[in-house]
Amino acid sequence: MHELSIAMSILDSLQEEVDRRACGRVEAVHVRIGALSGVVPEALQSAYEMASAETPFSRARLVIEEIPIVIYCAKCRCQRTASPPAWFSCPECNEVSPEIVSGRELEISSLEVST
């Protein structure tokens, strides 16, 4: 449900960036969505298609990069990619770590524009 609000925030951000940078037509918007962001990529994709129709960005594609959960394992002394259902456990030594390196992303990384 809230993916529609996220999609609308993306469109507002696009408008702001385009105004500020005075760049050409936006062909695509690249976003990074973390596994811990609470956003379901498929739902965001359809919400974006719905929200962008009949806006100046109706032709701008949404390209989603999914970011996995990366934790810092204090025992192994390195970063590890964790996955559900062991959300924050080191896949090598099973140590639970509260230190999240990435996975919360909810950001616009770049735009593809044509002039």
Partner 1 sequence: MTATPRIVEVRRNILKRNDEIAHTLRTRFAEASVSVLSLVSSPGSGKTAFLERTLTALREHYRPAALVGDLATENDAVRLRRSQAPVKQITTGTLCHLEAAMVEQSLQEWNLAELDFLFIENVGNLVCPSSWDLGEEVRVVLLSVTEGEDKPLKYPTIFNTSDLAIITKIDLADAVEFDRAAARANIETVRPGMDVMEVSAKTGAGFDCWLSYLASRRNLQHIAR
Give the residues lining the site for partner 1 (CB under 8 A).
1-2, 5-6, 9-10, 12-13, 17, 21, 23, 27-28, 31, 36-39, 84-89, 96-98, 106-115
Report the distance separating Cα 112 and Cα 110, nearest Å: 7
Which is closer to partner 1, CB of 23 or CB of 78? 23
Which is closer to partner 1, CB of 58 or CB of 109? 109
Report the distance separating Cα 34 and Cα 44, nearest Å: 13
Smallest distance from partner 1 to CB 53, Å: 19
Smallest distance from partner 1 to CB 7, Å: 9
Smallest distance from partner 1 to CB 10, Å: 6
Which is closer to partner 1, CB of 101 or CB of 106? 106
Nearest Cα to 77, choosing from 55, 92, 88? 92
What b/e string do you get for 54-71 counting C-beta neighbours within 10 Å, with b at 16 or more? eeebeebebebeebebbb
Which is closer to partner 1, CB of 54 or CB of 104? 104
Smallest distance from partner 1 to CB 56, Å: 16
Give the residues across from 78 on adjacent strands: 73
